[in-house]
Amino acid sequence: MKHLLLVGGGHSHLAVLKSFGDAPVEGVRLALLSPSRHAFYSGMVPGVVAGHYGPGECRIDLVALAARAGARFLPDSAAGVDPARREVTTARGERLRYDVLSLDTGSSAGEPAGAAEHALRARPVEAFLAGWERLREAARRGEVRRIAVIGGGAAGVEVLLAMRHGLAGSAAQFALFSELPVLAGHGARRRIARILGKRGVPVHAGRKVLAAGENGLELGGGERFEAQAAVWATGAYAPAWIAQSGLATDARGFVAVSETLQSRSFPEIFAAGDVATVIGAPRPKSGVFAVRQGPVLARNLRRVLAGEALERFRPPSRSLALISCGDPYAVASWGRFSLEGAWVWRLKDSIDRRFVERYRLGPAGA
């Protein structure tokens, strides 16, 4: 009996679970390690914040998906990997043995001093949505007058505009902070800059946030920015335990994998999604690429268990990016080409709903 251990309920592992549910593999014992019973589709989270969806509409039941695949669901998170012993250590201290390991834990949001106590973090999603409910009620009561959003990538922009829409009619004001130019190198950057300006959102680009406190942010140069709430939606950072486990990593600490999605140092370990970097073909940390990697990962896990040759993942040089703007309006970009409109939002809504429906199970678990 071979042991296949999936660590994390990310977008790529959804495809793996569905694949094993559709066609089980004899002689393989499957387990899923995840701190949450649900996976949240990241593309729809801003829509939940804006009020277009309920939380359940972007939530996928990992326990049900695992059960359909014949996988044991383990409600815990990884704290380390011992490749020599082929063991994963969990946060609770349990040791899980594997023959083949697959990592799809996503990334964490880097944060400065005080962020854990004084800022709402965009990840993990479940905690973020619960925190947003509290923040929204406080803003509606007039207790929060200014909200600072830190992060100039697509996530920061979408979260800010979604919150602004969700708090329409309140007195809350927003400001966006980014160490780099907002959406640097992104085909939609000019359109988004115009939309932010038109909606009265001040953008503080090139400003490094050093710390978050009860009354606002501490910036470089000794300046302070007064705010009653801060939201951390910065770029992707690698979990610290990856490098500590002795796995080969890229310069930023993400698992270094080949085109087969295998670890460059241990071929029985696979990784996909934000936690991994395909050496020789790096791409932005985005749910788009995690979704694309899913079917390849599923097939390669089957093939490695059967001793067959593996498939290569060849990411496209560019992909369609859809950025929601709070209201039912969105911006689309393909390389340097971009468009915007309510129809773009409807397109995004259709794509997102189809993805979630793919992994929903009927009442009978079929």
Residue 56 has pLDDT above 60, yes or no: yes
% of the chain residues with pLDDT over 70: 98
For residues 179-190, give the mean pLDDT.
92
For residues 106-122, give the mean pLDDT.
83
Domains of the chain: 2-35+76-107+238-316 (3.50.50.60), 109-235 (3.50.50.60)
Q: What is the pLDDT of residues 287-318, one digit of tens each?
A: 888 999 999 999 999 999 999 999 999 988 88
Q: What is the pLDDT of residues 7-34, one digit of tens each?
A: 999 999 999 999 999 999 999 999 999 9
d(CA 366, CA 19): 13
Res 362: pLDDT: 53
pLDDT interval class at 333 (50, 70, 90): very high
Res 279: pLDDT: 95
For residues 155-181, give the mean pLDDT.
97
d(CA 221, CA 333): 35
- How does strand 78-82 pair with strand 87-90? antiparallel
For residues 46-64, give the mean pLDDT.
97
For residue 75, the 8-state DSSP code is -
- How is residue 207 written in tokens? 């400003």
Q: What is the pLDDT of residues 254-289, one digit of tens each?
A: 999 999 999 999 999 999 999 999 998 888 788 888
Residue 111 has pLDDT above 80, yes or no: no
Q: What is the pLDDT of residues 81-96, one digit of tens each?
A: 999 999 999 999 999 9
- The most confident of the ranges 223-237, 308-322, 343-357 is 343-357
Whether the CB-CB separation of 305 and 101 falls below 8 Å is answered with no
Q: How far apart are the first and last CA of the chain?
A: 26
Name the nearest CA neighbour of 238 among 224, 249, 223, 227. 249
- How is residue 339 written in tokens? 């468009």
- The most confident of the ranges 53-67, 104-118, 313-327 is 53-67
Beta bridge partner(s), residue 61: 38
d(CA 72, CA 117): 34
Res 236: pLDDT: 83
Residue 212 has pLDDT above 70, yes or no: yes
Which residue is it, tokens 């790529």?
Answer: 12
% of the chain residues with pLDDT over 90: 85
Residue 194 has pLDDT above 80, yes or no: yes
